[in-house]
A and B are shown apart, each in its own frame.
Chain A
């Protein structure tokens, strides 16, 4: 039977884990990014499940450490961080609050992730997506590069206000 204390402990652990921010996109919590997949408490042990955004995401170790530190501060000494590979992370998991935080910090949030049936279609032209400049709001933006400072971001330039900006690629 789940006692009120166990429920309170789980809520406290969840709250602590949900406050941890992403090392590359510090305006987002791991929860807002959709990387935090679950928090459970069993006795004195907290198990946290996280999933990588990209296979090569170099921030996984940093995320694990930050989660362990935040939970230690909340009184949980025994923390196990588990990697959850399936289902694969999708930008559709970025919360509405996360999308607002990205835009407020000058990063264009992703559109809906591509859906398909059959083979992955080849796209030879610039990717078709609607992107709004986070500085001036114009939709007149041109792609500079599909690969930005991190794997998850593309580089754009607004042709209205001429400012460069980053866009989180749909994945």
Chain B
């Protein structure tokens, strides 16, 4: 029976649990064949899924920040849509990591994807440093999304041939989505580069700030190398040429030179060594889940 005097009563019905940790979401891999290719080490494959999943999860969280702060309403919605796509990819990849090697899970009664997103400390996140940085301005957000999606698209495109059927399927969906993200970011880079003196100045500054983080995107971590050699993953160093060609096309259209800022050295994000920006982001993102485990409302 509905309690008409209490506007919130309907939210707590058993038949229709609304969002809360551990409720309301079904397993994104429900009924998907969990078979794992025999040639690949399970711990490696799970770590590889976390790398791809954490990249998507962390950037999704960063992009969500722009909803209500972008230059216009349409852009609020666009970046939120991009974030949602990446969050969806992250859910599938984190759930896959937990199926492949349950030892990646923090002890918790929560569904695997929630436990991985909300209960891991920063040092157990395996994302690249590019995705965790705080955007200084909108040009930063656009350049970050361009650099990330150009590389992710090239990786996912090759990952469609993975011997892991789940990864291959996640990649096949992801390619279609990230193609929209990349082109959206590229159009903004052209707009800013060919816009006003101020937009161009901000674009160039963002490129200088973020360019040093690009080498990590194509630096193969030993896990990536082994999973690629076993036929289940993609060695990111193999996409450097393809990604560089796309970036050159965008830079030419935007009338900017390829940045020359030096690399920051070998990336550490894949091994869990992050900037303080990630810890601060996770402190906020995980706060409610940690304070109210299995809370419903």
Contacts and interface: CB of A to CB of B under 8 A. Distances in A.
A103 B142 CA distance: 34
Contacts of B183: 122-124, 127, 146
Contacts of B89: 55-56
A83 B27 CA distance: 9
B40 interface: no
A60 B88 CA distance: 11
B166 A145 contact: no
Contacts of A58: 84
B291 interface: no
Interface in A38-92: 47, 49, 52, 54-58, 60-61, 64-65, 80-89
Most buried by B among A55, A120, A122: A55
Given A55-B88, A55-B170, A124-B187, A61 B25 contact: yes
A55 B175 contact: no
A171 interface: yes
Contacts of B31: 47, 49, 80-84
Q: How large is the interface on A (under 10, 10 to 19, 20 to 34, 35 or more residues)?
A: 35 or more
Contact of B29 (A49, A83, A149): A83
Interface in A127-171: 127, 144-151, 155, 169, 171
Given A58-B84, A85-B173, A122 B186 contact: yes
Given A81-B30, A148-B77, A88 B25 contact: no
Interface stretch (B246-254, B270-278, B279-287): B246-254
B166 A85 contact: yes
B236 to A, nearest CB: 15
Contacts of A120: 153, 157, 175, 179, 182
Given A83-B28, A120-B157, A54 B74 contact: no
Nearest to A65: B16
A148 B78 CA distance: 7
A86 B16 CA distance: 29
16 contacts: A54-B173, A55-B88, A56-B91, A80-B31, A82-B32, A83-B30, A85-B169, A87-B172, A88-B176, A120-B157, A122-B182, A122-B186, A144-B74, A146-B183, A147-B77, A155-B74
- 3 shortest interchain CB distances as A-B pairs: A56-B88, A82-B31, A55-B88
Interface of B: 16, 24-32, 74-75, 77-78, 80-82, 84-89, 91-92, 153-154, 157, 165-166, 168-170, 172-177, 179-180, 182-184, 186-187, 190, 242, 246, 249-250, 253
Given A55-B85, A151-B84, A151-B85, 16 more contacts: A54-B173, A55-B91, A60-B28, A83-B31, A83-B32, A85-B170, A86-B168, A119-B157, A122-B249, A123-B183, A145-B74, A146-B183, A147-B78, A151-B81, A169-B180, A171-B176
